[in-house]
Amino acid sequence: MALLDILTYPDKFLTKTAKPVVNIDGALNKTIDDMIETMYNAPGIGLASIQVGCDKSVIVYDPSHGEERKSLTVLLNPKIIETCGETVSENEGCLSVPDFRSDVKRSASLIIEALDRDGKPLKIEAEEHLAIILQHEIDHLNGILFIDRVSALKRELYKRHIKKQLKQNEK
């Protein structure tokens, strides 16, 4: 397995929409294994393929955070088919948006359809923390970053911060 580079804002690849997985082959399985290793190493609780420069519709996540790979899940072509209620994801963060956290409005619960790593159909009903993780990662597959869901003022402040950092790194 290999650690992959996690793309960070303002990389334009993060705004791409992932393509459906149509062929589960050795190359895809290697990418999935590398994504899992990268997520745990980061450390993170979720990672979408777009974040590592892969345009296939794949997410990996493990909400157990810190416990040894207790709830690792791989989803191919995940689609939200139903949402219910509203909640605030407090202090949400992202591996692709370093040094920024914010409250984000999310659905309180949802139902997702996807394929597992072997191509078998799954239906997942998620609430609370898991619902937030899934919405966040599926957003990535649709080219949406969590900063796109915060106020324009907070988003602009973060963009200015990043531009300043990029200029300093150029020196």
Q: So which residues are the catalytic ones? A: 137
Per-residue 3-state assignment (H helix, E strand, C coil) for 64-94: CCCCCCCCCEEEEEEEEEEEECCEEEEEEEE
CA distances from 164 to 22, 31, 109, 168, 171 (A): 41, 33, 38, 6, 11
Nearest 5°: the CA angle 35, 39, 40 is 120
**Exposed e or buried b for every residue in 3-15, given b needs 16+ CB within 10 A?**
ebebbebeeeebe
Residue whose structure tokens are 């990029």: 166
CA distance 169 to 171: 5
